[in-house]
Amino acid sequence: MDRVEELKREAGITACSFVRDGMRIGLGTGSTVKYTVIEIGRMISEEGIDVIGVPTSEATRELAESLGIPLSTLEEAAPLDITIDGADEFDPNFQLIKGGGGALTREKRVAEKSAAMVVVADDRKQVNTLGEFHLPLEVRKDDWYTVAAKLREICPGQVSIRGGESPYVTDNEGYILDCDFGPTISDPSLLEGHIKSIDGVVEVGLFVGMCDAVVMASNSGVTTLLKQGGRLD
């Protein structure tokens, strides 16, 4: 395991410091948070904690099942105590861009039903202004071309369908549009509202006012950043 991967593992495990016996936990998706899911499996088998997980993607569901983590649906388990997930970017106000893995709709639904949200990420995801990472949107299959045309009116960079001629299909049978805004998203709430008003948009990869802490891996180790006035402060 190289140094970057080892730091991801450490961060994923550190995020489990927020896990308590009896919790209902949103289980996120991504290369870092997978270590959180693995650690929760270990805590169940070795420490005997009793938790229920709600996976945000089919990949996470498969991993959790292989580890013996009891699972439920969001409809059955909500409200959740906490969600632990990854992020593609986070800014100083703990606003996020998510969706690089294509699971943004389920991820947002789970986060919305959680009493708190912890993000696990490395320091490459820390930015002053959101948008250098392309902003993903989930759109209905039949509407993607029309939505893309409308987005090109407000997006300064390229708007493309993920997968090109063989479009990526989400767990919800939608498509993903990736929008290159550049580091210009200083008011993510305003932009989210604007995009969601476009017919055919299912969800936007902006997570506004949801994240309460970031467990961040860097070359100097793992640091936990708490949002001042957040639900975990």
Q: Please name the residue that has the structure tokens 């730091």.
A: 7
CA distances from 123 to 69, 76, 220 (A): 29, 35, 10
**Token pair of 123 as six digits:** 């320091």
**Token pair of 215 as six digits:** 């467990």
Q: Collect all residues with Cβ–Cβ distance below 8 Å to 197 and sequence separation of at least 6.
A: none
DSSP 114-158: BS-EEEEEEGGGB-SSBTSS-EEEEE-GGGHHHHHHHHTTT-SS-
> Which one of 39, 107, 138, 192 is the catalytic residue?
107
Q: Please name the residue that has the structure tokens 């200083």.
A: 186
Q: Is 107 a catalytic residue?
A: yes
Q: Which residues are annotated as catalytic?
A: 107
